Chain A
Amino acid sequence: DAGVIQSPRHEVTEMGQEVTLRCKPISGHNSLFWYRQTMMRGLELLIYFNNNVPIDDSGMPEDRFSAKMPNASFSTLKIQPSEPRDSAVYFCASSFHDTETQYFGPGTRLLVL
């Protein structure tokens, strides 16, 4: 069975550019989560969706970040404009329900120069 799929796996971009990260959750899962991980701050929840509806976006750092889930099998996290401090690993995870076990994708390693 396919797990959570993320693309791209690596992204190097210049400050000011738009970055779009993509995620395909496990089929049948109703909740989708976007996390950011850095050495300094650990794993931080940015936003999560239940049944394609954003439930909690309190972790989104600022207006430069936006996330969408147009259907049950696809979500995007967009950063516009990107800044060097956005450099991190971004994980997408999904679960049947938002309180249950979450399954993580392989992550996108983002480097903003």
Chain B
Amino acid sequence: RKEVEQDPGPFNVPEGATVAFNCTYSNSASQSFFWYRQDCRKEPKLLMSVYSSGNEDGRFTAQLNRASQYISLLIRDSKLSDSATYLCVVNDGNTGKLIFGQGTTLQVKP
């Protein structure tokens, strides 16, 4: 089983739609969680950290479910510019290093 698993997609949605991505992780000792965004032929960039209580940043909402070991990202009112690959990132609870998922690709269509 992969340490961090994501549905690769692609998710094709129209502008204005709400889309949600899920990610599962295997190490129950993991303490830090992030969503990164990677545009085509660019480097990954931090989108948002994920806190236990859930957190929101504009149109983006991240949630963590420790019991089920999954993380979610919700994007409301999607824009064309949201088209990218979204990487779920979890720290290795034993070593602290970050483990990246394979990413979920989102395509927002006009």
The answer to whether A and B interact is: yes
Report A's interface with B, CB cutoff 8 A: 33, 35, 42-43, 45, 48, 56, 91, 98-107
CA distance A100 to B46 in the complex (A): 11
A38 to chain B: closest CB distance in Å? 11
Give the interface residue-count category, chain B.
20 to 34
A-B contact pairs, 10 of them (CB 8 A): A42-B103, A45-B97, A56-B97, A91-B44, A98-B97, A99-B91, A99-B97, A102-B98, A104-B43, A104-B45
Most buried by B among A35, A42, A56: A42
Do residues B43 and A105 form an inter-chain contact, with CB atoms below 8 A?
yes
Report B's interface with A, CB cutoff 8 A: 31-32, 34, 42-46, 49, 87, 91, 95-103
CB contacts (< 8 Å) of A42 on chain B: these are: 100-103
CA distance A43 to B36 in the complex (A): 12
Do residues A91 and B43 form an inter-chain contact, with CB atoms below 8 A?
yes
CA distance A35 to B97 in the complex (A): 12
Do residues A101 and B91 form an inter-chain contact, with CB atoms below 8 A?
no
Name the residue on B nearest A109 (C-beta): B41
- Contacts known (A42-B102, A42-B103, A43-B87); A98 close to B45, Cβ less than 8 A: no
CB contacts (< 8 Å) of A45 on chain B: these are: 97-100
Do residues B49 and A101 form an inter-chain contact, with CB atoms below 8 A?
yes
- Contacts known (A42-B102, A56-B95); A99 close to B31, Cβ less than 8 A: yes
Do residues A99 and B32 form an inter-chain contact, with CB atoms below 8 A?
yes
Give 5 closest A-B pairs by Cβ, nearest first: A104-B43, A42-B102, A99-B96, A43-B100, A98-B96
Do residues B34 and A43 form an inter-chain contact, with CB atoms below 8 A?
no
CA distance A91 to B36 in the complex (A): 14
CA distance A35 to B43 in the complex (A): 11
Name the residue on A nearest B45 (C-beta): A104
CB contacts (< 8 Å) of A102 on chain B: these are: 46, 98
